[in-house]
Structure 1
Amino acid sequence: MKDVEIFPAVYHDTGVSRFAGNPFIEAMPPLEQSKSDFLTNLAHYPAKPSATLRRSSEVVRLMELSTINDIVYPFPEYQKAGFTLAKMARDTYVARHPLTTMDRQRRHAIATTGTNGLPMPADWKPSAKGYFMMSVSGQGKTTFAAAALLRYKQVICHSNYHGADLKCHQVVYVLLRVPHDATLKSLCLQFFNEIDRLLGTDYSRKAAALRNIAPMVDLMNKVATAVSLGFIVVDEVQNLRSARAQNAELVLNLFSEIIERLGISLLALATPAVQAVVEGAVRNTRKLASFGSLVIEPMARNSPQWEEFCDTYWDYTFVKTKTKLTKEILDAWYTASAGNTAFAALAFTLSQHNEIGGREIIDATAFQRTAATDMAFLGPAIAALLSKNPAKLRMFDDLLFSPRYKAMRALLGAEEPARPKGVKNDEFDDVHEESVPPSPAATKNKKRASPRPVDLPLEDPLAR
């Protein structure tokens, strides 16, 4: 059975007129009072090591080092992203007010696929948006998403809204990751597994029986509507560069349909490697970034942000001798990490791991030793970041941005990147490699196969 807490709805007046009277919006946490609150609420600083702890045994302190991984440093970019996510999460429900006649008709049309004479309302328009957040690998986009989602109860149970009957579950968000094989089927099944985990349903079994794209997407549309899904966070979108044949385009089309047809907002997270996918798909990219986009760059050497970041982490020194954070240490730390958040935290942690039980001090030498040994495998990538040389950065597609990333939406008519051919893929029956016809044996087997009947769910507000 599911191990997820389902919270009863508690309604709050938002003070925003367009949100008034909408139970799905009023069941969300109260809005922040200022922009700075978005940074304050995202930040997380675990208990700092005391002088007593620094005198503890080597093993105790080595175990305590994992505390560093719990730090969430609030980068200034998080403020904009936090506000955007808060607005998207609520705006998505403006056009999906569950107590209105129009929304009941919309939900009914999706549940029945419009087969009983009640089509989608002609004048219904989605209020959902897409937001694209990009950074080089290890620069904090996934950390932001994880911290921001902690603000929201993921599943809310409604029973009565100020005297009006409202019996339903509201799944505020789901978090998905584009799989490494970048298949549409894998992504769809991941969605159904997540809904099953949250609600204890059995959609994944129904979905696994489907062998074609159309019924799979149709089932996804019905389920997302039935659970009143608010927004989807999709991480690792750059994995679409590994998609074969037209799979990348199919996934992007699905994202667009989620926003436009279902009215569900979408936050996409990616590294610069996503450029190979989106440069030839401007229409879909425009929808994914309909509420804007954000690029988080590595911190600059000697910048106030770098110094403040290091000063924050320096408080989590576990070696016996905690020295002053000097410019020499800051410079060695930067050389070992290139200002990349993940690399910087790793360099600090590994340096302490090496020095506990040894010299018991963190200085420039400690970082230099770590860079030359424990982090040697990251050396080429860090050297490329330090050089800022496009030719070197191009060797690591997760690190290189095109100029200000405007090419993502500006390159109209760009050619699709080359796709590998002739590689078999466990995908839908109606997805084939371009210019690679199915073998006669496969065609023969396909003709003999009979489709398995699937009992699609029917969550219809007019059938209650």
Structure 2
Amino acid sequence: MKLEERATILKGEFEEAIYKKQEIEEYNNNPFIEALPPIFNEEEVIDRFTVLPIISDKDRDKAQNLRYHIIKRAKNFIQPLPIHITLERRLSSLIRRGYLGRNPLGKEFLKSLRILNRLDDEDIKKNEIENEFNIIRSTADSISIIGISGIGKTTAIERLLLMYPQVIKHFEYNGENFTRTQIVWLKIDCPYDGNLSTLCKSFFKTIDDILGTRYLEKFGYSSRVTSTMLINMTKLAWRYGIGVLVIDEIQHLLNTKNDTEEMLNFFVTLSNTVGIPTVLIGTSKAQKIFKGNFRQARRAASEGSIMWDRMTKDSPEWEFFLESIWEFQGLKNIVDLTDKIKDVFYDECQGITAVAVNLFLLSQERALQEGKEELTVSIIRETANNDLQMIQPMIKALRNNNLSEIMKYEDISISLEEVSNSYHRDIELVGLIEDSFKERKRDIELKRKSIIESLIVDLIEMDIFTCLENSHIRKVCEKVVKESDVNEDYSTQKIKVLKEAMELNEKLKSRDAKEQKVKTNDGLIKIYELSKEKKIHAYELLKKNGFIKNPVDEFQIVN
């Protein structure tokens, strides 16, 4: 596969450095660390990680052809789980501790940069280069994330990376000139052919796409060997203060004739020589890469490996996940999530997140297609058997716990022993996440109520809606706020409310005018009685119905 055919590069935000006092002593006086966001607590991770789609009652009343599209909103649903908290903690520590040995204010850092800049000098003999290169070696930690396909590894790491700015521009530090570009994180995918040289080129290409440079052209041409490209990767890692390098889909390395020892050596060299903390992500198949040489495997995952298996049927996280996503339906009738539905849902997806979400969406589409407006056991079963037919052999193997069959599908098999070690820690985190999630929902409701009350006060104070009662204004405000994103700008919601209130006011005014016109055909007495009924001065009603003429208009006519 050509480098140009790779998947779209993940890009984050650019920021100008704002330095923050650090609560951990060793993190102070390091611009690369001080420019990072504060260390997140669990509640902040949950809040930033969560993505809740909005499907309102108004959406559910729309035509069937529109709801096929509305249903797809749930595809963006992201529910934080205990493993996400664990991963964020590891990533946060990995980035910061990786900068401890690369403080841009330190003498060693500047010395290393000078040595790296000299590596282009042809007068330096090869053995001298190697001797000096040994001086700048900066061992960095690494993490491996191994999990079954479709469990959400890539989604999770990308969501966590985007919590940090990708590029930070430095101009001045403590009153001194400090001009530097810092790349906090970089994510690349292993090429499908597993070529290590192509992987290095992906590194240069990603930096080019982010900064608009031309390093691929300079360092990645065909005559370059992997070892030479690693030296140039080191230059860029130090020059731009790269905080962490994430390499996804590492199981692709098994698609080539690379020796396992060579692959492990590559990752260890990447950590030891280039000095960048690394996160290696792969499916269960990638476990083969780390088998064999214990010392090398340990170095390739010095901060430990995270074994990410599917959710079990009786786990609190599965229960919570299903309850959370259940309300994001586009069908008119949202049935209760009964034990029977929970059982069939797990039976057909076996706790794999991607399968669960797709089954949830496709079952709704089938319900619409059949003219039904609710999810049933039979619809879920029918959807799994027909629309998810291709993965049925894998689901069946997992359902029957048939180890020999499971091993045929290397992307779904995983070391259950590794997973069980962290199960009890996860139970505690599930409780924390669930409480925080419920608290967040309560906060959202309180925020909505606060917005509604503020809008009501603002509209009543305007005193321009002559035909609207306070109850009318409240209903309009509640409707608009319910259909709007809770984080939408207040002024935008106010404009929407004004528009709807004015439309309703005109509608009621027009209706009242028609009623009054009909009743006033009965004469002056009826007009008088109507004025008392409507609590309007009789003069205004007589004038409105043409019994009293405007003296100014009459005067102009005479003239």
TM-score interval, smaller chain: 0.7 to 0.9
**AA at the equivalent of 2:47:** T
Correspondence for 1:229: 242
Moved more, 54-63 or 274-283: 274-283
Deviation at 1:50, TM superposition (A): 1.6
Moved more, 122-131 or 38-47: 122-131
Q: String of CA shifts for 1:58-117, please: whole Å, max 9, x gaps.
A: 122111222112111111111111111011111111110001111111122223239498
Correspondence for 2:95: 89
Q: Is residue 158 from structure 1 mapped to residue 170 from structure 2 by the alignment?
A: yes
**AA at the equivalent of 2:235:** K
Deviation at 1:403, TM superposition (A): 5.1
Q: Is residue 273 from structure 1 mapped to residue 273 from structure 2 by the alignment?
A: no
Match of 2:378 among 365, 383, 391: 365
Q: Structure 1 residues 281 and 241 mapped into 2: Cα distance closer, same or farther (>3 Å)?
A: farther
Q: Is residue 292 from structure 1 mapped to residue 294 from structure 2 by the alignment?
A: no
1:360 alignment partner, SS class: coil
Contact (CA 8 Å) 1:182, 1:239: kept in 2 or not?
A: yes
Higher helix share: 2
Q: Is residue 218 from structure 1 mapped to residue 231 from structure 2 by the alignment?
A: yes
Q: Is residue 51 from structure 1 mapped to residue 57 from structure 2 by the alignment?
A: yes
Correspondence for 2:327: 315
Deviation at 1:284, TM superposition (A): 2.7
Match of 2:113 among 77, 102, 107: 107
Correspondence for 1:38: 45
Match of 2:389 among 376, 399, 405: 376
Deviation at 1:253, TM superposition (A): 2.3
Q: Structure 1 residues 39 and 249 mapped into 2: Cα distance closer, same or farther (>3 Å)?
A: farther
Deviation at 1:381, TM superposition (A): 0.9
Deviation at 1:168, TM superposition (A): 1.5
**AA at the equivalent of 1:138:** G
Alignment of 1:183-222 (within 5 A): 183-206=195-218, 207-222=220-235
**AA at the equivalent of 2:412:** L
The TM-score, its normalising length taken from structure 1, stands at 0.82
Contact (CA 8 Å) 1:136, 1:271: kept in 2 or not?
A: yes
Deviation at 1:308, TM superposition (A): 1.0
Contact (CA 8 Å) 1:338, 1:382: kept in 2 or not?
A: yes
Contact (CA 8 Å) 1:96, 1:103: kept in 2 or not?
A: yes
Match of 2:271 among 254, 259, 262: 259
Question: Structure 1 unaligned runs (5+)?
Answer: 407-464
**AA at the equivalent of 1:60:** L
Moved more, 361-370 or 250-259: 250-259
CA distance in 1, matches of 2:13, 2:161: 15
Alignment of 1:287-436 (within 5 A): 287-357=299-369, 358-402=371-415, 404-405=417-418
CA distance in 1, matches of 2:227, 2:146: 30
CA distance in 1, matches of 2:143, 2:30: 23
Q: Structure 1 residues 111 and 390 mapped into 2: Cα distance closer, same or farther (>3 Å)?
A: farther
Contact (CA 8 Å) 2:307, 2:415: kept in 1 or not?
A: no
CA distance in 2, matches of 1:198, 1:57: 43
CA distance in 1, matches of 2:268, 2:290: 13
Correspondence for 1:242: 255
CA distance in 2, matches of 1:308, 1:84: 24
1:269 alignment partner, SS class: strand
1:359 alignment partner, SS class: coil
Deviation at 1:377, TM superposition (A): 0.6
CA distance in 1, matches of 2:350, 2:284: 17
CA distance in 2, matches of 1:319, 1:162: 58
Q: String of CA shifts for 1:38-69, please: whole Å, max 9, x gaps.
A: 3333222222x122211111122111222112
Q: Structure 1 residues 238 and 228 mapped into 2: Cα distance closer, same or farther (>3 Å)?
A: same
Moved more, 214-223 or 151-160: 214-223
**AA at the equivalent of 1:157:** K
Structure of greater relative contact order (alpha carbons < 8 Å, 6+ residues apart): 1
Task: Flag the structure with larger Rg.
Answer: 2
Deviation at 1:19, TM superposition (A): 0.6
Q: String of CA shifts for 1:141-169, please: whole Å, max 9, x gaps.
A: 11110110111111111111112222111
CA distance in 2, matches of 1:283, 1:109: 30
Correspondence for 2:516: none
Q: Structure 1 residues 396 and 81 mapped into 2: Cα distance closer, same or farther (>3 Å)?
A: same
1:73 alignment partner, SS class: coil
CA distance in 2, matches of 1:210, 1:121: 22
Match of 1:6 among 9, 14, 20: 14
Correspondence for 2:530: none
1:313 alignment partner, SS class: helix
Contact (CA 8 Å) 2:145, 2:281: kept in 1 or not?
A: yes
CA distance in 2, matches of 1:244, 1:405: 29
**AA at the equivalent of 2:31:** P
Deviation at 1:123, TM superposition (A): 7.4
Q: Give the CA RMSD over aligned residues.
A: 2.3
CA distance in 2, matches of 1:74, 1:163: 41
Q: Structure 1 residues 238 and 122 mapped into 2: Cα distance closer, same or farther (>3 Å)?
A: closer
Question: Structure 2 unaligned runs (5+)?
Answer: 1-8, 420-559
Alignment of 1:130-149 (within 5 A): 130-149=142-161
Contact (CA 8 Å) 1:154, 1:173: kept in 2 or not?
A: yes
Deviation at 1:4, TM superposition (A): 7.3
Q: Structure 1 residues 120 and 11 mapped into 2: Cα distance closer, same or farther (>3 Å)?
A: farther
**AA at the equivalent of 1:241:** L
Q: Structure 1 residues 219 and 263 mapped into 2: Cα distance closer, same or farther (>3 Å)?
A: closer
**AA at the equivalent of 2:381:** Q
Deviation at 1:258, TM superposition (A): 2.4
Q: Structure 1 residues 299 and 245 mapped into 2: Cα distance closer, same or farther (>3 Å)?
A: closer
2:387 alignment partner, SS class: coil
Q: Structure 1 residues 263 and 216 mapped into 2: Cα distance closer, same or farther (>3 Å)?
A: closer
Contact (CA 8 Å) 2:230, 2:270: kept in 1 or not?
A: no
CA distance in 2, matches of 1:6, 1:275: 35
**AA at the equivalent of 2:146:** M
Q: Structure 1 residues 20 and 121 mapped into 2: Cα distance closer, same or farther (>3 Å)?
A: farther
Match of 1:29 among 18, 21, 37: 37
Identity fraction in percent: 28
CA distance in 2, matches of 1:282, 1:180: 26
Contact (CA 8 Å) 1:347, 1:367: kept in 2 or not?
A: yes
2:306 alignment partner, SS class: strand
Number of residue equivalences: 402
CA distance in 2, matches of 1:7, 1:124: 29
1:323 alignment partner, SS class: coil
Deviation at 1:372, TM superposition (A): 0.8
**AA at the equivalent of 2:116:** I
Moved more, 15-24 or 116-125: 116-125
